[in-house]
Chain A
Amino acid sequence: GAVVSQHPSRVICKSGTSVKIECRSLDFQATTMFWYRQFPKQSLMLMATSNEGSKATYEQGVEKDKFLINHASLTLSTLTVTSAHPEDSSFYICSARATWGRGTDTQYFGPGTRLTVL
C-alpha cells in the first residue's frame, strides 16, 4: 500500500515559538494532501487542503496566518504552526490522496505528530 511519513512524530516547544511539520508521500505522487487536527477523544477535524503548486484551502475557523501550509512538490507538504500557544497542543495528522484506476481516490494517513506547547 501507499506510505505516508510525517516528521517529527513528537515535538515539545515553548509558547511563542514556531513548529514545522513535514508530510511526505514515499511511494506515490500526491497533488493533494490534507492536514487534520485531533484533540483527545474527539473526531478528526480537517484543517486545510494542500494543493501542489497553489495556495492551500482552509476550513472555516482555521487561521491561515497561524497555520502556514506549503506544498512545494508532489511528495512534500509542510505545516508550520506559528507563534504556538498551549491551546495549539494537539495531534496533527496529514494524509495524501492517491489516485488509482477508475478515477478512484484514496487517502492514506501519516503517523501523526503530537505537539505539546508549554
Chain B
Amino acid sequence: QKEVEQNSGPLSVPEGAIASLNCTYSDRGSQSFFWYRQYSGKSPELIMFIYSNGDKEDGRFTAQLNKASQYVSLLIRDSQPSDSATYLCAVNRRDNYGQNFVFGPGTRLSVLP
C-alpha cells in the first residue's frame, strides 16, 4: 500500500458545483496534512493545511480530516474553470529521523463551464 493515495482522475464537475477531492494515508503517526494545487507547467502552491480532526474552512475551500479513518479531503465550493488543476495531498509525520513529508500522486480536476 502506498503511503498516500489519491484518485488520479480526471474528476469533472460543472461550474458552480462542489468538487470533492479525497486522500487516504497509511501511517497513523501522520501529524499534519496539506493540500497543494498545481497548474499545468507550474509548480505546486499551498492551498491549506490541517492537523486537527474536523473541518477547516478558508474561503471556498474546506479541508476535512478524519484521523481514525485515515483520510483527508478537500471541498471546493462554487467551482470555477480556474480551479481546473492537479491537486496534491501531502502528509507530514515525525519520526526518529525528523519530519517526513510524503506527497500523493495528485488528482486532476476539470471544472466545465
Contact = CB atoms under 8 A, between A and B. Distances in A.
Q: Majority SS of interface residues in chain B?
A: strand
Nearest to A113: B43
A59 interface: no
A93 B36 CA distance: 14
15 contacts: A1-B46, A34-B101, A43-B105, A44-B44, A44-B88, A44-B103, A93-B43, A93-B44, A102-B51, A104-B49, A105-B101, A107-B46, A107-B101, A109-B46, A111-B43
6 pairs of A and B residues whose beta carbons are closest in the complex: A112-B43, A109-B43, A43-B105, A93-B43, A109-B44, A105-B99
Interface of A: 1, 34, 43-44, 46, 91, 93, 97, 102-112
Q: Could you say which of A1, A34, A108 has the most chain B C-beta atoms within 10 Å of its C-beta?
A: A108
A76 to B, nearest CB: 18
Nearest to B99: A105
Contacts of A112: 42-43
Nearest to A114: B41
Interface of B: 31-32, 34, 36, 41-46, 49, 51, 88, 90, 92, 94, 99, 101, 103, 105-106
A60 to B, nearest CB: 15
Most B C-beta atoms less than 10 A away, residue of A105, A108, A111: A105
Nearest to B90: A107
Nearest to B44: A109
Contact of B31 (A44, A104, A106): A104
A78 to B, nearest CB: 17
A79 to B, nearest CB: 14
Contacts of A107: 34, 46, 90, 101
B31 A110 contact: no
B46 A108 contact: yes
Nearest to B106: A43
Given A106-B32, A107-B101, A109-B44, 20 more contacts: A1-B46, A43-B103, A91-B41, A93-B44, A97-B101, A103-B94, A104-B31, A104-B32, A104-B49, A104-B51, A105-B92, A106-B34, A106-B46, A106-B49, A109-B43, A109-B45, A109-B46, A111-B43, A112-B42, A112-B43
